Structures are given as structure tokens and as C-alpha cells.
Amino acid sequence: MKSRSRSNTLLIELLLVIFFFMCSAGILVQIFASAKLKSRTAHIINASMLEAENIAEDLYASDDPDAVLASYGFTARDGSWELQKDGYLLKVVPQSEETESGTLRSYEITGVQGEKTLITLPSTRFIPREVSQ
């Protein structure tokens, strides 16, 4: 009788150890999946920021901003420019203001993933008028 009770206890202990390892494995899978998702989101934010910075620099230096945006592959939509990249959308909204002394061109470059705004980067350039004497 004693040997049977010992084998039952051993079986229960083995089942508890297996249950513990299964729970631990399930929790670890969730943690690793969450870490991978956060890593992917961070990669997308970094890529969109780098791309937005490059576009802002090129727009600042350019005399023809529409040509610059077209060379990047942007398409014009309702007064703004959009470019779909790997996992995010870049949107450029240009504004221009004429003054007596020149033109103020400003751009708002926005990186969007789904409904979430990742970054917003402004770029502004003042182009003075030539003064005639």
C-alpha cells in the first residue's frame, strides 16, 4: 500500500512541475511577443523620423519643393503630399505666405501609423525678395 501512495505523490508532483513550466512558457511567449511589437514600433518611429528629417532638409534647400517631393515618390492629394512607406505614411502639408519683404514657405511633415501620429516635424524657409535700387 505504501508504494502505491508514493507513486501517486510522485505523479502529482510531476503534474505540478509540468503545469508550472507550461504557465512559465506561456508568460514568456507573451513577454517576447510584446517586446517584438515594441521593437517594431520603435524601428518604424526611427525610420519615419530619419526620412522626415531628410525631406525637411531637402525642402529647405530646394527652390522647387514640388519636384523634391515628386522625386521622393510623394503623390499630391488635396493640397498635401503623401508617401506610403514600410508600415507608416508620411504626409507633407505645404503653406506659403507672401510678405512685402519675401516669401515664407513652411512645411509640416507628419509620420502616421494607422490612426496614431508618430512624429510631426516643421520646416520653414524665408526667401527674401530682390531689392531694386
Please report whether residue 28 resides in a domain.
yes
Please report whether residue 9 resides in a domain.
yes
Helix or strand holding residue 128 (H, E):
strand 116-128
Whether the predicted model's global pTM rises above the 0.85 cut: no
The domain tally of the chain equals 1
Please report whether residue 133 resides in a domain.
no
Nearest residue to 47 (alpha-carbon basis) of 82, 93, 92, 84? 84
**Structural domain of 123:** 2-128
State the pLDDT at residue 130: 80
* 125 three-state secondary structure: strand
**Which phi and psi angles does 2 have, rounded to 5°?**
-65, -35
Give the C-alpha separation, 133 to 130, whole Å: 10
**Per-residue pLDDT reduced to its tens digit, 21-62:** 999 999 999 999 999 999 998 999 999 999 999 999 999 998
Please report whether residue 73 resides in a domain.
yes
